[in-house]
Amino acid sequence: MDQQAVYATDEYGRPFIIVREQQKKTRTHGVEAIKSHILAARTVANIVKTSLGPRGLDKILISPDGDITVTNDGATILGKMEVEHQIAKLLVQLSKSQDDEIGDGTTGVVVLAGALLEQSEALLDRGIHPTRIADGFERACVLAVKHLDSISDTVEFSKTNTLNLFKTAKTALGSKMYNQSYVQKNVTNVWKDSVSKEHDRFAQIAIDAVLSVADLQRKDVLFDLIKVDGKVGGSLADTALIKGVLVDKDMSHPGMPSTVRDARIAILTCPFEPPRPKTKHKLDITSVEEFKKLREYEKEKFTDMIKRVKDTGANLVICQWGFDDEANHLLMQNDLPAVRWVGGPEIELIAIATNGRIVPRFEDLSPEKLGKAGVVREVTFGTTKDKMLVIEECANTRAVTVFVRGSNKMIIDEAKRALHDAICVVRNLVVDNRVVYGGGAADISCSTAVAKAADEIPSIEQYAMRAFASALDSVPLALAENSGLSPIETLAEVRSRQVAEGNPLLGIDCMGTGDNDMKRQFVYDPLISKRQQYLLATQLARAVLKIDDVIVAGQDSE
């Protein structure tokens, strides 16, 4: 049955995929259904393929509200797409799974999954059963993962020697930040130096952030202690790592001191207001005396709350809820600085960083529940004098905040995504310090190994294994194409050199340096990231090949 996939957008600019069948049927069965699913998956993979690598292109994503996102991050592109096809949704979940588990390689895993399904379509046309194809893919994946282990290198690092971490972080940043400024980078040496410094700065920030919260003995990284925040204004060069917690709030009253030293912090999730019944209530005031009584009651409660806080020795209050002007005035009169409307995640991070306890009732306050910090201060920046609160020298010194600056929200968001990838890559190396080499070098080497092993397999699964090897070539082919090179010629040349020299370090020279050795170019990929890409893409291909029918509830079947 002839089919075609149409990539369209709705009235809000959100993309979706239509799989049209020229021959109308209520349901498609067997191989035809599988081909329909493969078509949808290929369409999604082709959307993100052009964003792969350091020279990949960006996509503009427009939300229903008109907000614009410019990115080449695979997980972000797919996450913001409104896809209707069931298999397309599986690819979206695939990239999210890679992002949640590894944090990097979200575009590569979708490209590989799309290539595997594209190869399987040719095998279906030759009459090979989908189950045999799936089994062959599984067998080839085991071989590829085993080969990855054999070509991996162990990188040594410590808190004082971070050179290898630095190289790997720069590789992760390359695909996000480098492509935005490559053309300008070659205009003048001045621009080249500034971009290089910016790259180095972000890589170093990612390393410092991870090592601040990492336990190298247990090979564990507490991601909860790393917060990434941003504010429009300044340039990317103003991005800084703060040893402590940054909160986008200021003191609740302008008369309160802007700096508190040797802070003892009461962290409250109860509001500064008189208690009232939790159920619906109604209070009728019929005279001036009753109003005065109510006012005195409220003032007495406010005074009691402030006294309870002061009695514990606290000299700063951070509250999840707001409080009215009267409570605010009394807090200032009693020399008790306060911060209100601090969000739940932020208040949890403050509690962890200061070794304090979150207190839900004033009656539960005690000196041992207070958080401790060396200094809490307001910082102002820009001509608008925007204020933020910085909590430094915390009792738990491992908590850090990355404060990103940029000329607009779009740049800040992309910088955050780039930092997230770099931080995740450094985290992965702390967990497992083995790397393979990027630029498609590992993929070409695995492809050659799988194709060689397929020649020794007597069963029909050898065809599926060769298809798997061809699918692995999709990553270096996409890298070459996105770099403006001739894809097939470049891949053939690198593969022949790998085989002739027995050198699995040779990959696609995306940046045009004239050197295909990825180790000399410092293009590193964590082994667990590449392994996870192979495993997840193979699992998805197996799942799609085993779906031979789609039954929609409420529709008549044939």
Active site residues: 73, 106-107, 421
**Neighbour order of strands in the sheet with 434-437:** 153-154, 434-437, 524-526
Cβ-Cβ contacts under 8 Å for 293 (sequence gap 6 or more): none
Beta bridge partners of 20: 4
Position 421, amino acid = D
List alpha helices for 174-324, DSSP H.
Answer: 182-185, 189-213, 288-311
Beta bridge partners of 268: 319, 359
- CA-based nearest residue to 114, from 58, 146, 74, 148: 74
> How would DSSP label each residue in 388-406?
EEEEEEESSTT-EEEEEEE
Instruction: Name the DSSP class of 541.
Output: H
> Mapping DSSP to helix (H, G, I), strand (E, B) and coil, where does residue 380 land?
strand
Position 411, amino acid = I
> Mapping DSSP to helix (H, G, I), strand (E, B) and coil, where does residue 220 land?
strand
Tokens representing 322 are 């707001």
The terminus-to-terminus CA distance of the chain in angstroms comes to: 16
Instruction: Name the DSSP class of 1.
Output: -
Q: Is 330 exposed, middle or buried (0-12, 13-18, 19+ CB in 10 A)?
A: middle
**Relative orientation angle of helices 474-482 and 106-125, to the nearest 10 degrees:** 120
Number of Cβ within a 10 Å radius of residue 372:
16
**φ, ψ (nearest 5 deg) of residue 28:** -110, 145
How far is residue 37's CA from residue 16's CA, in Å, rounded to a whole number?
Answer: 15
CA 481 to each of CA 50, 111, 206, 278, 448: distance values in angstroms, whole numbers, following the listed order: 8, 13, 30, 64, 20
List alpha helices for 126-188, DSSP H.
Answer: 130-151, 163-173, 182-185
Taking only Cα atoms into account, the Rg of the chain, rounded to an integer number of angstroms, comes to: 29
Instruction: Name the DSSP class of 236.
Output: G
CA 232 to each of CA 229, 249, 415: distance values in angstroms, whole numbers, following the listed order: 11, 15, 12
**Relative orientation angle of helices 288-311 and 325-333, to the nearest 10 degrees:** 50
Beta bridge partners of 233: 406
Contact between 546 and 130 (Cβ < 8 Å): yes
How far is residue 365's CA from residue 367's CA, in Å, rounded to a whole number?
Answer: 7
